[in-house]
């Protein structure tokens, strides 16, 4: 098969790394890709949002399966277009992708189907006055979300009513998120630990991959601004087998069935972001694709051929498959450009990549924002690399150490990373062990 991956981040590098291992694959292309992906796939210089050019490429090059990484092409309807031309493509159609593309849609969907989530109300621009009144009525903290896509930056947790009113003004008055913020969701604050679960579905059946935990804030101890994700580990010990069973029954199953009944059968990867509250798991958000950097820890734990699962999602029949997981843990530390998520410089030469490759077979360096300039690899984005280590499932600390030993070998001007990736998992494991003791 000729497989085409769309996207250019660490997620797409991890997808390429795993897809390359499939005996079903004879040719791998990636549009537009990055320097790391270029080592294992043919790079095609087409942006992920240029649907016309992507479709022309898929037809001309006889692509057998297209795998979409990022959300934008999905919400733009790339799947509907490819399918109309008889091309096989992994991901949900435009309507089902609204689960991520519109927070108001997702909340209304959950309400309709009785899926546990935070209490909320949504407001259009014309209802700004009602939104202000609602803020004054509900207790703090108050969570305000831009309805549309905002690269993970459209959510504010406000500790005071003044802050909440400011955020509302930022979105609806000053239009800081453009169109995306002209409609908002205001919701109840949920307390607990976060975890994500990933399901691959054909619209009826599904398999779950490992759970994972992301680190969204820029600084240690979850301080500072939200980013696309500064690191991840898997599995998340907070997601015990009992809890995962509850998530499957009360969240994933009704989500897939609800979408099908509503007329938008969901095929692809369903990413469920959860808060584990005292009253059980509740949905914080849905994403209509694999997570980044979660994919960089989830795929190294997957034993099953990913291409078989992707094909079963597209063609149907995933209900009869299983996703076998290695009994290991994985930790990914993201190395970012100094200044990210605000302004940062690019074009910095990265050194140490070969040293890491030689030093440890249990470490993979997934490229996110990199490009090749002559014989050098240079930074080209905010998140530059995702360094993933694997190790024993029962010794997350050892896996974390292994990841950081590799991270320390890599340098570029202004490189920044968090030093506490996985710490919450270690604490949770300790607590679970204490509870198990008689
Ligand atoms: P989202 O983009 O919806 O995942 O939100 C980004 C982050 O904001 C989440 O990962 C949470 O840390 C936080 N968040 C979102 N919604 C809530 C909520 N209702 N209660 C508490 N924290 C939230
Ligand atoms: N890591 C968060 C996301 O992929 O949306």
Minimal-distance CA residue to ligand 1 atom 1: 285
The ranges of the chain with pLDDT < 50 are: none
Query: Which ligand neighbours the alpha carbon of 334 most closely?
Result: 2
Q: Which CATH number fits domain 119-188: 3.90.25.10, 3.30.1490.20, 2.102.10.10, 3.40.50.2000?
A: 3.30.1490.20
- Here the tokens at position 426 are 């270690």
In the chain, pLDDT over 90 holds for what percent of residues?
89
**pLDDT score for 436:** 83
The reply to whether omega before 122 is within 30° of 0 (cis) is: no
Q: Is the CB of 7 under 6 A from ligand 2?
A: no
| Ligand closest to the CA atom of residue 222 | 1
β-partners of residue 273 are 196, 285
Q: 100: Cβ below 6 Å to ligand 1? A: no
Place of tokens 């580990």: 233
Ligand 2, residue 292: give the atom nearest the CA.
4
Q: Is the CB of 214 under 6 A from ligand 2?
A: yes
Give the residue among 87, 183, 202 at the shortest CA–CA distance from 144. Answer: 183
HSE, side-chain direction, 13 A CA sphere, residue 133: 5
Distance (Å) of CA 203 to CA 93, 168, 240, 250, 317: 11, 36, 26, 16, 10
**Residue 121 has what pLDDT?**
93
Report helix, strand or coil for 87. Answer: coil
- Residue to mutate, 119, 122, 228, 285, ligand 1, most ligand atoms under 8 Å from C-beta: 285
Q: Which string of DSSP letters, residue by residue, matches 23-69? A: TT-SEEEEEE--TTGGGTSEE----TT-HHHHHHHHHHTT-SEEEE-
Ligand 2 contact, 292 CB (< 6 A):
yes
* Separation of alpha carbons 169 and 373, rounded Å: 43
383 DSSP 8-state letter: E
Which helix (H) or strand (E) segment holds residue 89: the answer is strand 89-90
Q: For ligand 1, is residue 152 a contact (CB within 6 Å)? A: yes
Nearest to 342 by CA among 224, 438, 246: 224
Which residues touch 226 (CB under 8 Å, ≥6 apart)?
152, 153, 155, 216, 217, 218, 341
Q: Give the Cα separation of 21 and 33 in Å (integer).
A: 18
The answer to whether the Cα torsion of 350, 13, 53, 80 is positive or negative is: negative
Using a 6 Å cutoff on CB, does residue 305 contact ligand 1?
A: no
Apex 213 CA angle, 209 and 218, nearest 5 = 140
CB 160 within 8 A of CB 196: no
Looking at domain 2-94, which of 3.40.50.20, 3.30.565.10, 3.30.429.10, 3.40.50.1360 is its CATH number? 3.40.50.20
- Give, using CA atoms, the residue closest to atom 3 of ligand 1: 285
The number of the ligand nearest the C-alpha atom of 149 reads 1
Helix, strand or coil for residue 144?
strand
Residue boundaries of the structural domains of the chain: 2-94, 119-188
Q: How far is the CA of 375 from the centre of ligand 2 (A)?
A: 32
Strand partners, 362: none
User: How far apart (Å, rounded) are the C-alpha atoms in residues 359 and 378?
Assistant: 21
The tokens describing 216, both together, are 């969204």
Tell me the CA distances in angstroms from 165 to 43, 125, 142, 152, 161, one per residue in order.
46, 14, 10, 20, 6
Ligand 1 atom nearest 187 alpha carbon: 19
Q: Is the CB of 205 under 6 A from ligand 2?
A: no
| Length reported for the chain | 438
Ligand 1 atom nearest 118 alpha carbon: 19
Q: How far is the CA of 86 from the centre of ligand 2 (A)?
A: 30
Residue 186, ligand 1, Cβ within 6 A: no
Backbone dihedral angles phi then psi of residue 357, each to the nearest 5 degrees = -60, -40
- Indicate whether residue 216 lines ligand 1 (CB < 6 A): yes
Ligand 1 pocket residue status of 118, Cβ below 6 Å = yes
CA–centroid distance, 86 to ligand 1, in Å, is 38
Find how far residue 361's CA is from the centre of its chain.
25
Ligand 2: nearest atom to the Cα of 293: 1
Helices and strands counted in the chain (H then E) = 15, 23
Ligand 1 pocket check for 284: Cβ under 6 Å: yes
CB of 154 shorter than 6 A to ligand 2: no
Closest CA to 142 of 166, 106, 172, 177: 166
């Amino acid at each position: 098969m000729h497989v085409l991956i769309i996207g250019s981040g660490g997620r797409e590098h991890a997808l390429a790394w795993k897809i390359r291992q499939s005996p079903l694959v004879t040719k791998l292309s990636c549009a537009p890709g990055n320097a790391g992906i270029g080592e294992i796939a043919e790079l095609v210089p087409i942006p992920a949002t240029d649907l016309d050019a992507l479709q022309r490429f898929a037809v001309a090059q006889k692509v057998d399966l297209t795998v979409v990484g990022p959300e934008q092409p999905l919400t733009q309807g790339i799947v509907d277009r490819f399918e109309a031309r008889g091309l096989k493509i992994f991901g949900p159609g435009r309507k089902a992708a609204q689960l991520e593309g519109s927070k108001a849609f997702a909340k209304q969907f959950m309400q309709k189907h009785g899926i546990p989530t935070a209490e909320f109300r949504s407001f259009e621009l014309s209802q700004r006055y009602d939104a202000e009144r609602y803020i004054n009525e509900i207790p703090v903290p108050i969570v305000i979300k831009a309805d549309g896509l905002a690269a993970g930056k459209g959510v504010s947790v406000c500790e005071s009513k003044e802050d909440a009113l400011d955020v509302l003004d930022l979105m609806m008055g000053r239009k800081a998120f453009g169109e995306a913020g002209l409609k908002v969701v205001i919701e109840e604050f949920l307390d607990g630990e976060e975890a994500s679960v990933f399901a691959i579905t054909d619209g009826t059946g599904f398999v779950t991959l490992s759970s994972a935990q992301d680190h969204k804030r820029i600084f240690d101890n979850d301080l500072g601004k939200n980013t696309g994700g500064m690191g991840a580990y898997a599995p998340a010990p907070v997601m015990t087998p009992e809890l995962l069973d509850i998530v499957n029954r009360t969240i994933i199953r009704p989500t897939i069935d609800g979408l099908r009944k509503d007329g938008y059968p969901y095929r692809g990867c369903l990413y469920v972001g959860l808060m584990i509250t005292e009253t059980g798991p509740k949905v914080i958000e849905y994403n209509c694709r694999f997570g980044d950097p979660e994919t960089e820890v989830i795929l190294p734990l997957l034993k099953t051929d990913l291409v078989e699962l992707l094909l079963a999602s597209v063609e149907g029949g995933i209900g009869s498959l299983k996703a076998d997981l290695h009994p290991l843990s994985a930790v990914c530390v993201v190395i970012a450009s100094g200044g990210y998520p605000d302004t940062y410089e690019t074009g910095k030469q990265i050194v140490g990549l070969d040293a890491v490759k030689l030093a440890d077979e249990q470490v993979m360096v997934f490229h996110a924002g990199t490009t090749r300039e002559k014989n050098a690899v240079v930074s080209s984005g905010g998140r530059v690399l995702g360094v993933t280590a694997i190790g024993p499932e029962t010794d997350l600390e050892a896996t974390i150490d292994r990841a950081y030993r590799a991270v320390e070998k890599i340098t570029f001007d202004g490189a920044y990373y968090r030093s506490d990736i996985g710490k919450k998992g270690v604490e949770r494991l300790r607590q679970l062990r204490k509870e198990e003791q008689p």
